[in-house]
Amino acid sequence: ERAFGRGDVVSSDKWSVLENASGSKTGFQGVAPPPMARKEIDRLFYKEPRARALHPYLCKFFPVPYDIKENIKDERSTFFLDRNGQVFMFRSFRADWLKDRAAQVEEAHNILVGEDNKSDAIKAACSSGLRGPHMPIILGHHRQSSAVPYVTSWQQAHPDRVQKLLALPIIQRIIRWITDIVDTVFPGVAARLRKDAEWHEEKYGIKPLFGLFWNLCLNTWFEGQSNIRCGPHADKKNQVGVCLLLVYVLENGKNFNHTQRIWLVVWEAGIIVELPPWVLGAYPSALLYHFNVDTDEIEFVTTEGDVRPTRENSRPICDGDDCGRGSFVFFNQSTMRQGPITGYDTIAEAKAHGHSGTVDWGESIQEAFTK
C-alpha cells in the first residue's frame, strides 16, 4: 500500500496562514469573512444558476487540476504553500487501494444512511442547511454548550450503526491512512491533537473514535438529489488546525466527471482545486471560506507556461455525469480544545478560577502550521 510519493507544489505569493487567517476573540476557532464580504459572496453565488454571477471573479483564481495518469501509481500529491512557505493545504493522490475497494466504502455509506435518505421529514429538516440541502450524518464526541463531552444526538439514536461502521476493516484502514497523512504533513496539528486527546481520556475516559479526530461527517444526498455540493461557508466552530475531506463515489457515480464537476473554491487563498474521487484534501476549513462550483463555464485567465483546464483538455459535461459524489469529513470542534488549554470543563469555570479563557491566536497558528 502506497501512503506517500512524489508531490507537486502550488505556492501563493499573496496569502499567509500566519498573517491573514482570521480567528475568534478567544483564539479557539476561526471566523467567517466580514459580513459585507460574506453577504456579497453569498449573494453572487445564489444569484444565478451554477454560481455564474461569481464567474467574473473566479476566472482570476488559480485553478489546480488533477493530473490523471495511465498508471494510478504514477499520480502525485499536491502541497499548497502560502507566501511564507508554510504548507496550509494538502491534496493526496488517488488512493488505488481505496478505489479498488469502492464496494466496501459503499457498504460503510449504506450502514450509516439506512433508509433515512428516503425520509421526507429528515429532508425537510435539512432543506435550509448552511452548507446545502443534503443530508449530513455526524458521529463522535463533542461538547457544544455542555459542561462535559458527549456523543452526537445522531449517534445516540443509532449506536448499532456506529458500532457496525467502526468494525469495518475499510474504515479502520481509512483512519490509519488519514492519521499517517496528518502526522507527516501537519506534525504540529497531530502533536496537539494527541495531547488534547490524552487530557480527555484522563478527565472523562473517552478517546477519539477516528484516530486524531473526534468527529466524522458523512455527507450524502436524499432521493431526488444526485450529489453533494456545498454553498459558501467557513467551518468556524472547528478548531484551528485541519479538517480532512475524503471524496467518494457510489456505483451510480462511476461516470462522475471530476475534470469539471464540483471543484473546491478556497476563497481567501484564491484557488480552485479539483478533487477526484478517492482523493483526500486536508486544509484549515475553520479559517477559510469555501464552496463547490463546476468549472466548465469559467474562462480562467491564462499565463504563459500554465496548464489550465479548458474545454479542449477536459471531458465535456453531460447530463448525469455529476451523480454519486459525496464526502467523508473528519474534524474537531473548538469546544474539545478548550478543556485541555484551560484545565476546566467550561470557559466560565476557567475564568472563575483566574484563567483568561483564551488562547494566543498567533501561537496557536504557529503551533499548528510551522512545526
- pLDDT tens digit sequence for 35-53: 889 999 999 999 999 999 9
Q: Which pLDDT belongs to residue 261?
A: 95
pLDDT digits (tens, 9 = 90+) for 216-263: 999 999 999 999 999 999 999 999 999 999 999 999 877 899 999 999
**Predicted local confidence at residue 314, as pLDDT:** 60
What pLDDT is stored for residue 25 in this prediction?
Answer: 86
pLDDT of residue 145: 83
Q: How many of the other CB atoms lie within 10 Å of CB of 117?
A: 18
Q: How many CB atoms lie within 10 A of CB 24?
A: 17
Burial class (CB in 10 A: 0-12, 13-18, 19+), 130: exposed
The pLDDT of residue 30 is 85
Which whole number is the average pLDDT over 201-229? 97
- Between the CA of residue 209 and those of 166, 167, 295, what are the distances in Å? 8, 11, 36
Residue 4's CB is within 10 A of a number of other CB atoms, namely 12
Determine the pLDDT at residue 302: 61
- For position 21, what pLDDT does the model report? 85
Distance CA 329, CA 218 (A): 6
pLDDT for residue 304 is more than 60: no
* Whole-number pLDDT of residue 333: 96
Name the pLDDT band for 107 (thresholds 50, 70, 90): very high
Pairing of strands 62-64, 271-273: parallel
Phi and psi at 262, nearest 5°, equal 55, 60
Cα 182 to Cα 138, 185, 234, 280, 331: the distances in Å are 21, 5, 21, 11, 12
Q: Does pLDDT of 156 surpass 90?
A: yes
Dump strand ranges (E) for 155-261.
215-220, 243-249
Start-to-end Cα distance in the chain: 27
pTM: 0.94
Residue 166, pLDDT score: 99
**Span 202-206, average pLDDT:** 97
C-alpha cell recorded at residue 53: 454571477
CA distances from 199 to 123, 152, 203, 253, 277 (A): 38, 20, 6, 42, 36
Sign of CA dihedral 267, 271, 276, 278: negative
Other beta carbons less than 10 A from residue 188's beta carbon: 16
Phi, psi of 342 (to 5 degrees): -90, -25
| C-alpha span between 333 and 129 (Å, rounded) | 18
**Residue 34: per-residue pLDDT:** 84
Q: Stretch 255-275: mean pLDDT, rounded?
A: 95
Q: Which of 210, 207, 196, 216 is nearest to 359 (CA)?
A: 196
| E strands present in 87-242 | 87-91, 135-142, 150-151, 215-220
pLDDT value for 310: 59
Q: What pLDDT band is residue 273 in, cutting at 50, 70 and 90?
A: very high
Inform me whether the pLDDT recorded for 342 exceeds 80. yes
Average pLDDT, the chain: 92
CA 311 to chain CA mean position, Å: 28
Q: Are 331 and 211 in contact (CB under 8 A)?
A: no
Q: Can you give the residue ranges of every domain in the chain? A: 7-369
Parallel/antiparallel/unpaired status of strands 290-293 and 135-142: unpaired
Q: Mean pLDDT check: name the lowest of 16-20, 265-269, 306-310, 349-353.
A: 306-310
User: Rounded mean pLDDT of 304-308?
Assistant: 54
pLDDT over 80 at 312, yes or no: no
Read off the DSSP letter of residue 213.
B
Query: Is the model's pLDDT at 70 over the cut of 70?
Result: yes
Examine the pLDDT at 334 and tell me if it is beyond 70. yes
Comparing C-alpha atoms, which of 235, 301, 305 is closest to residue 58?
301
HSE at residue 275, side-chain half, CA atoms within 13 A, is 31
| Strand segments (E) across 152-230 | 215-220
Mean pLDDT over 165-187 rounds to 98
The reported pLDDT for the residue numbered 23 is 83
- 118: nearest Cα among 224, 217, 219, 218: 224
